Structure 1
Amino acid sequence: MAGPSGAAPQDAVPWGAGPPEPAPPAAGPLDAGPSAAGLPRQRAPWEPSPAVPEPPSSFPPAGRRRRTPAESAPHLPQDPGPVSGAEWDSAGAGARGGAEYVGSAPPAYEAEPTALPPADPDDLGGLVADTVLDGARYGVCTLRAASVRGDSARSRGEPRRDALLTARFGTGDQALILVAMATGARGAPGAHRAAAEACHWIGRAVGRSHQRLVDDIHAARRDDLKSGLHRLTDRSLGKLRASATEQGIPPQEYAADLRCLLLPAHPDCRTRVFFGVGEGGLFRLRDGAWQDIEPRVGRSDTTGDAVPGFGSRPAETPGGDRLTMDLGIPTPPSPYEPAPEPPRESFRFRASVARPGDALLMCGGGLADPLRGEPALSAYLARRWSEGTAPGLAEFLVDTQVRVKGYADDRTAAAVWEA
């Protein structure tokens, strides 16, 4: 990896330090042939609609774009191949709203939002939009991010439990982009508030320490990054637990899974840093095939491509002794501040180098579960996203909403395409 490295300024603020913060389907033709007067005749209501001819072979079927050579590559055996317009209507598109789905049957829920969540006239700021969409391009990477209320919540009139935050700290080549997503506890009344608060606290913590983070990423100081981010994450979730206590809510009901991605803006730095707590997915699309690179609890988190200086440690010594990192012992204290209480759940961390043409996907469980459980969905997204260029915002939103029967949770995803 080539990139600038520099020591942090002497007066840099320690990580996490700072003053405390308060808590229409297309219409068919109307004419059925010329009338005696030579003018088009309106079709009578009882007359059947004339058949709509298939589109010319040089065009893709309605509702489906032309497949590129990359999408037809032989290394994707799950690819079902081109289908006719009639086949596409029955196998790939819902009857209402034009929402696409994969699998043997359409989902039971409506494809579009139905009921709105209840509103409190004295707390309108607590309302959560059905859909959030964002994107950016810095250095050699292009970011797309979306969070969409799940089919189940749309039908029941419940708010979206997922929260999404995209933020840039700093300017120029020293800028750092943060993507944070959180999922509130299932069935908890304030789940959406807890998720939003978790994103708020981690964003504030990363923003205050962004210069130190940028320096450590550029200098490939993996251990400092891991321990520092561990503490920022635990401090943020600690504030969430404190907020639950202040509200008189059990901490387990006012909790959230938190997943974050750090992207340095410098064009010569391809290091991508993932960290967080809780369930979800981290996937890499390389050469048309998905790789599940989610750090697993109880195994090394540096499998795969390692950044120079970010090398993984062996699981045991030559004599067979297990190392500390595999015993679940908390990470040693940060060099910048005393270590707080260890996190309640296992901390996940991964730092890797991206290659040109890669696409990195971080998502919550609402998308990770169907990606792992329905091969047709992973194949569909692989075809859509293997072209080497990022889709537009609207295209990305459509792709993340491809539905699968049996999976109706909120979907939150952030994907990074490497030029």
Structure 2
Amino acid sequence: MSQQGGRTTGHEDDDWWGQLYDDSTEDTGPTPATDSLDDRFASAAGTVRSASTAGDTGGAGEGVGTGAAGSVPGPRPEPPGPDGGRTDWWTSQDAPPTASPPTAPEGTVPRPRGGRAPDVTPGTHPPERHRAPWEPPSDTPPDPTNVPSGPLPPGFAERAPHGPAPSATGDHTPTKPPPAASKPPAPPSPPAPSTPPPTPPPPSPLPPPPALPPRPTPKDYVGSGPPTYDAQPTALPLADPDDLDDLVADTVLDGARYGAFALRAVSVRGDSARYRGEPRRDSLLTARFGTGDDALILVAMATGARATPGAHRAAAEVCRWIGRAVGRSHVRLAQDIRAARRGDLKSGLHRLTDRSLGRLRAGAAEQGLEPDEYAATLRCLLLPADPACRTRVFFGVGAGGLFRLRGGVWRDIEPRVGEVAGEPVVGFGSLPAETPEGDRLTMDLGITTPPNPYDPDPDPEPPREPFRFRASVARPGDTLLMCTGGLAEPLRGEPDLSAHLTGRWSGPTPPALAAFLADTQVRVKGYADDRTAAAVWEA
């Protein structure tokens, strides 16, 4: 038998094949070792290798040693071709793939050339073949990293420690193995401690911190007890999808600083309106007209009539109308304030107020409502931006409050009809007079014209609120507060509220917007209306 692609070894080399498959050979009977076709092929492959090694004269073979029994040597070299070169048909791309011969299973004993398996006693291991010094024992798996450093004997090729394993079905194309890489020395292992280190004792538990006294809960009300309603908004007002401009925010907050004063203004929906889902009836307008020292700041606030469906609209309209009237005349008004033309200021502001309220009454007639059903109170404050002018002008119609905090004491300076309240102020009347502090004192007697006795059927007119006017010179450290009835009534009726605001607003600097909002929202039991206020701190 000749290897595929090899030369014929002659008739004498094939005698063993006939002896192996000759029918005349007497059966040797069962043997303890396995005798399969694979075992016989492995035995034949070993015999062919021995014959090829004996016939080669070129030194070491080029086959790849597998280190296992029945390894197949590399193919024999072909004779030189016509061109003197060497032709290896198995390296050609057109050559058909050759199948890798199967290797003997681990633990099997190759049959000798005579065809008989060695006699092995059952229960014992077959005799171990002679192995080279560099080969591992048969019962130990080969270590691919244990490669000898010296030259290999003839017939063995060096195998890479991590080279690719021979394919079970692929080609066996001999390739030149890469040089063996030197294995880096393994890092020294740390010496094992003779005795384990002592375990540190567990940390002692820390003593519990001392109990702190509970922080006092800030009160959002003053007086004898908590108010009836909730402190936060509950229900939103009903909205009309076709008239969303009619919606009124729950809270409006504003502020500014000009010249020698700082302004804080706020308008908050009352507790009762928040609970019932009603809109805020108060309206607030803060506007600046002009620039520089000639600028004039207007603060206007109005309150709609109670228990009327359009109260918030009436308050907003009267604020816009008075703002438009003051804005168009702000240059003349600023000049009159700086020049102390008190008569012109009173008469001019009175006409602007009557005109704005007259338009409100005309709107009620257009809607088919009574004048009282579409009415509002109005209170305004004029503040010149000129730092050299400290005159503060108040005017308006209707209920509300005007207070001044000076030296830690609140004074009610709301001008009343027929009397003078508080410190002397600059006003207008028939007989002006000077006060020891330099203020000019006047008063409006509020005398109305009696009905004509010769008119049998006079047109009944609803009683109108008197026009209120007051102008005073502010002093450094003063705090002037103008507010609607929702805050003026609890200030007059609950001493704790005025004491609370005295402690909060007596500092050298005005509060921030958020602090001012919190101060004006301090509730008092029995007072649940909207609150609108504007405070001026004098530097």
Cα distance in structure 2, aligned partners of 1:111 and 1:257 = 26
The yes-or-no answer on 1:374 pairing with 2:494 is yes
**Cα offsets for 1:69-106 (capped at 9, x unmatched):** xxxxxxxxxxxxxxxx2xxx3xx52xxxxxx1111211
Cα distance in structure 1, aligned partners of 2:229 and 2:308 = 22
Question: 1:173 aligns to what SS in structure 2?
Answer: helix
Match for residue 28 of structure 1? Answer: none
Question: 2:371 aligns to what SS in structure 1?
Answer: coil
Shift of 1:342: 12
* Runs of at least 5 residues in structure 1 that lack an aligned partner in the other structure: 1-35, 41-49, 56-61, 63-84, 94-99, 317-322, 331-340
Match for residue 203 of structure 1? Answer: 323
**Cα offsets for 1:19-64 (capped at 9, x unmatched):** xxxxxxxxxxxxxxxxx99999xxxxxxxxx996127xxxxxx4xx
Pairing partner for 1:280 from 400, 406, 422: 400
Pairing partner for 1:105 from 225, 229, 244: 225
Q: CA 1:107 to 1:392, structure 2 compared with 1: closer, same or farther past 3 Å?
A: same
Match for residue 445 of structure 2? Answer: 326
Is the contact between residue 183 and residue 256 of structure 1 (CA under 8 Å) also seen in structure 2? yes
Q: CA 1:37 to 1:115, structure 2 compared with 1: closer, same or farther past 3 Å?
A: farther
**How do residues 241-252 of structure 1 correspond to structure 2 at under 5 angstroms?**
241-252=361-372
Alignment-mate amino acid for residue 253 of structure 1: E
Q: CA 1:324 to 1:103, structure 2 compared with 1: closer, same or farther past 3 Å?
A: closer
The yes-or-no answer on 1:404 pairing with 2:524 is yes
Pairing partner for 1:304 from 399, 419, 423: 423
Q: CA 1:119 to 1:296, structure 2 compared with 1: closer, same or farther past 3 Å?
A: same
Match for residue 53 of structure 1? Answer: 212
Match for residue 240 of structure 1? Answer: 360
Structure 1 runs of 4+ with >6 Å offset: 36-40
Cα distance in structure 1, aligned partners of 2:303 and 2:415 = 18
Q: CA 1:390 to 1:347, structure 2 compared with 1: closer, same or farther past 3 Å?
A: same
The yes-or-no answer on 1:156 pairing with 2:276 is yes
Shift of 1:306: 3.8
Match for residue 259 of structure 2? Answer: 139
The yes-or-no answer on 1:170 pairing with 2:290 is yes
Cα distance in structure 1, aligned partners of 2:468 and 2:404 = 16
Is the contact between residue 429 and residue 444 of structure 2 (CA under 8 Å) also seen in structure 1? no
Is the contact between residue 119 and residue 127 of structure 1 (CA under 8 Å) also seen in structure 2? yes
Cα distance in structure 2, aligned partners of 1:273 and 1:324 = 15
- TM-score, normalised to structure 1's length? 0.71
Cα distance in structure 2, aligned partners of 1:240 and 1:271 = 30
Cα distance in structure 2, aligned partners of 1:52 and 1:406 = 39
Cα distance in structure 1, aligned partners of 2:463 and 2:350 = 8
Match for residue 338 of structure 1? Answer: none
Cα distance in structure 1, aligned partners of 2:428 and 2:265 = 30
Cα distance in structure 1, aligned partners of 2:472 and 2:282 = 26
Question: 1:326 aligns to what SS in structure 2?
Answer: coil
Match for residue 336 of structure 1? Answer: none
Match for residue 358 of structure 1? Answer: 478
**Cα offsets for 1:105-163 (capped at 9, x unmatched):** 11110010000000000000000000000000000000000000000000000000000
Alignment-mate amino acid for residue 54 of structure 1: P
Is the contact between residue 234 and residue 343 of structure 1 (CA under 8 Å) also seen in structure 2? no
Q: CA 1:51 to 1:282, structure 2 compared with 1: closer, same or farther past 3 Å?
A: farther
Cα distance in structure 2, aligned partners of 1:417 and 1:274 = 15
Cα distance in structure 1, aligned partners of 2:233 and 2:484 = 20
Is the contact between residue 361 and residue 375 of structure 2 (CA under 8 Å) also seen in structure 1? yes
User: Aligned pair count?
Assistant: 317
Match for residue 215 of structure 1? Answer: 335
Cα distance in structure 2, aligned partners of 1:311 and 1:346 = 14
Cα distance in structure 1, aligned partners of 2:510 and 2:480 = 11
Q: CA 1:325 to 1:387, structure 2 compared with 1: closer, same or farther past 3 Å?
A: closer
Cα distance in structure 1, aligned partners of 2:445 and 2:522 = 38
Question: 2:264 aligns to what SS in structure 1?
Answer: strand
Shift of 1:305: 4.3
Question: 2:393 aligns to what SS in structure 1?
Answer: strand
Question: 1:350 aligns to what SS in structure 2?
Answer: strand
Cα distance in structure 1, aligned partners of 2:230 and 2:278 = 15
Alignment-mate amino acid for residue 186 of structure 1: R
Is the contact between residue 300 and residue 315 of structure 1 (CA under 8 Å) also seen in structure 2? no
Match for residue 374 of structure 2? Answer: 254
Match for residue 114 of structure 1? Answer: 234
Q: CA 1:327 to 1:251, structure 2 compared with 1: closer, same or farther past 3 Å?
A: closer
Match for residue 174 of structure 2? Answer: none
Cα distance in structure 2, aligned partners of 1:298 and 1:291 = 19
Is the contact between residue 417 and residue 445 of structure 2 (CA under 8 Å) also seen in structure 1? no
The yes-or-no answer on 1:413 pairing with 2:533 is yes
Alignment-mate amino acid for residue 216 of structure 1: D
Is the contact between residue 281 and residue 312 of structure 2 (CA under 8 Å) also seen in structure 1? yes
Is the contact between residue 315 and residue 326 of structure 1 (CA under 8 Å) also seen in structure 2? no
Cα distance in structure 1, aligned partners of 2:273 and 2:319 = 21
Q: CA 1:199 to 1:397, structure 2 compared with 1: closer, same or farther past 3 Å?
A: same
Q: CA 1:185 to 1:282, structure 2 compared with 1: closer, same or farther past 3 Å?
A: same
Give me the identity figure in percent.
73
Shift of 1:388: 2.5
Shift of 1:298: 2.1
Cα distance in structure 1, aligned partners of 2:360 and 2:463 = 12
Shift of 1:378: 0.2
Cα distance in structure 1, aligned partners of 2:244 and 2:253 = 21
Question: 1:349 aligns to what SS in structure 2?
Answer: strand
Question: 2:405 aligns to what SS in structure 1?
Answer: strand
Cα distance in structure 2, aligned partners of 1:133 and 1:52 = 41
Match for residue 63 of structure 2? Answer: none
Shift of 1:304: 2.5
Cα distance in structure 1, aligned partners of 2:472 and 2:462 = 25
Is the contact between residue 234 and residue 342 of structure 1 (CA under 8 Å) also seen in structure 2? no
